[in-house]
Structure 1
C-alpha cells in the first residue's frame, strides 16, 4: 500500500511538474522568438507562468535579450521534480548540485523535444493545411523560426522545396544524443532521465 501511494505521488508530481516546465520553457521560447504576445495561446501561457515568474524577474534581470528569470524558473521546477520524486520513490535525497546539473540537462533535453515535435507538426500541417490561420499553427511557426532560419541561410530551398527541416532534425537528434552522453557522465539515474521529455526513441 505504501508503494502504491508512493507511485501515485511520483506520477502526480512528475506529470504536473513536466506540464508546468513545458509552460515555462514555451514562454522562454516565445520570448526568444519575439512571438505574438496577443495570441490567445501566448496569453494562456503568460497567465499560467506569471505567478512564479514575475517575482523572480524582480530579482533576476534579463541578459542579452534572454529572459533569465524564465531559465532560472525552469531549472527550479526541474530541481523540485527531481528531488521530490526521488524522495517519494524512496531513492533518498539527491545531492542538490548534482540534481541542479540533471535539471539543466533535462530542461535542454525538453526544449529539444518540444522543437522536434513542433517541427513534425508544422511539416504535417504544411501539407494538409498550408494556409491555415489557426492561432496554434501561427504561434508554432514563430517559435520554430529561430531554429530554422540559420539553417535556411546555409541551405537554401531547392526550388519550391524547403529542405532545411531535414537538417534541423539531424542537428536536434545529434544534440539529443550528446545530452544523453552528458547525462551518463553526470551519473543521472534512469529514473530521473525518464521525468523529462526527450526525442521519441531515445
Structure 2
C-alpha cells in the first residue's frame, strides 16, 4: 500500500466517521428526548435529512425509537469498512455477514464513546460555566442526564458534590472493555478496522 492510498483511506475514514457520528447523534438525541429546536439539534437534523427521509418511508419508528437512523448508521459503518478493506487490497467477497457484525460492534462502540465524551464535556462545563445557557452546553447536559439521573438516585446526598459522573465513567469503561473488547476478539475483527471501534 503506497502513501497515496494510505492518505485516501485516512480521508475516507475521517469524513465517513464524522458523518457516521452525526447520524448516530440523530438517533441519540431522539432517544434522550433532547431539545429539537436547539441549533445543534437542527444542524444534525438537516445534515441527516437527505438520507433519512427516503429511508423512513421504508423503516418506520418503533416504540419512539428512530430505527431508520440506526439502520443508516450501521449501513454507513458497513460501507466505510468495505471501502477501507477494498482500498487496502483485501477481498471482502463472501464476508458480508462478518462485516455486518463488525459494523454493529463499531456503531455500539461509537454509541458508548458519544456518552463518554459528553460526560467529559459536562464535567468540564460544570467547573468553568455552571448553569450555562449556551446551546452546546444545554445539549450536552440533555445527553448526560438520562445516564446520570439513575446513578444520582442511588447515591447518598453529598452536600452539593455530584460524583455520579465517576460511576458513569466506570460503567461506560467496563462496557467498552468487557463487551466491545470481547466482541472484537471473538469475531476476529482485523487491526485494519481498529479506527472504527
TM-score range, shorter chain: over 0.9
Residue of structure 1 equivalent to 2:188:
187
Note if 1:99 corresponds to 2:99.
yes
- Partners of 1:143 and 1:91 in 2: how far apart? 38
Residue of structure 1 equivalent to 2:126:
126
Residue of structure 1 equivalent to 2:60:
61
Distance of aligned partners of 1:89 and 1:160 in 2 relative to their CA distance in 1, 3 Å threshold:
same
Unaligned 5+ residue runs, structure 1? 197-202
Residue of structure 2 equivalent to 1:168:
168
Secondary structure at the aligned position of 2:196 is classed as coil
CA contact (8 A) 1:156 1:164 kept: no
- Partners of 2:104 and 2:58 in 1: how far apart? 20
Residues 122-163 of structure 1: CA distance to partner in whole angstroms, max 9, x if unpaired? 101101110211100101101111111222222244221111
Residue of structure 2 equivalent to 1:113:
113
Residue of structure 1 equivalent to 2:27:
28
Residues 82-114 of structure 1: CA distance to partner in whole angstroms, max 9, x if unpaired? 000000011221611111111111111111111
- Partners of 2:138 and 2:5 in 1: how far apart? 41
Residues 147-184 of structure 1: CA distance to partner in whole angstroms, max 9, x if unpaired? 11222222244221111111100000000002111111
Residue of structure 2 equivalent to 1:199:
none
- Partners of 1:11 and 1:157 in 2: how far apart? 47
- Partners of 2:28 and 2:156 in 1: how far apart? 24
Residue of structure 2 equivalent to 1:13:
12
Residue of structure 1 equivalent to 2:142:
142
Residues 66-86 of structure 1: CA distance to partner in whole angstroms, max 9, x if unpaired? 110011001001000100000
- Partners of 1:97 and 1:156 in 2: how far apart? 47
Structure 1 stretches of 4+ with a deviation exceeding 3 A read none
Note if 1:159 corresponds to 2:173.
no
TM-score, structure 2 as length reference: 0.95
